[in-house]
Amino acid sequence: MVGLGILKGLRETARNLIGSFYQKERLTTVQYPEEKIAPKENNRNFPFLVFDKDPEANLRCVSCKICEKECPPQCIYIVQKRNEKGKAVKYPEVFDIDVSVCMSCQICVEVCPFDAIKMDQEFALSREDRFEDLLFDRVRLSKSNEYYHQIHPTEAGEVDGRLKEQRKQAEAKAEAKKQAAEKAAA
């Protein structure tokens, strides 16, 4: 019958309208900001940097700058750290992301070979100053692996497994190298 679909749709709307006074699950909206809906696991917003124990010493980032090169709108800025002798070390002295420019494409995450940068779910980021306040520095970007597990538990578990395997392989390789050196010296 012509118009049957429309009638069915209106019936559903009426059920939700009346039902929402009695059943909370029929409400599709909440009274934000007093009430918040937890984001879904795969929800993503802007990137953050993962650290394992200490945010000052254990960032996974080795300052390789691949993400900086690949970021389409060029909103990542990295300066590699240098030691007292002026030699470059594998750590970022400066790591800034201009989140007012970031388009949440996740390319930085995909190209990072060290699982050092991941997508956050923080979305309430409105600020009075569109420039300074939305330029996130290394300290602001650093978040723990525990936090990563809270927001993306499945993905973080996979990453942990992969990193563990890589560590095991590196240790086995180092041990084999050591034994070969000892054998050659004997």
Footprint on this chain of ligand SF4 (rule: CB under 6 A): 47, 61-67, 71-73, 75-76, 78, 97, 102-108, 112, 114, 116-117
Q: Which two tokens stand for residue 63?
A: 């300052």
Shorter beta-carbon distance to ligand SF4: residue 65 or 149: 65
Shorter beta-carbon distance to ligand SF4: residue 8 or 130: 130
Q: How far is the CB of 88 from ligand SF4 (least distance, A)?
A: 13
DSSP 128: S
Three-state SS for 21?
coil
Q: How far is the CB of 27 from ligand SF4 (least distance, A)?
A: 33
- C-alpha triplet 93, 78, 109: angle, nearest 5°: 115
Beta-strand pair 117-119/135-136: unpaired
Nearest to 148 by CA among 50, 54, 39: 50
Shorter beta-carbon distance to ligand SF4: residue 20 or 114: 114
Q: How far is the CB of 34 from ligand SF4 (least distance, A)?
A: 30
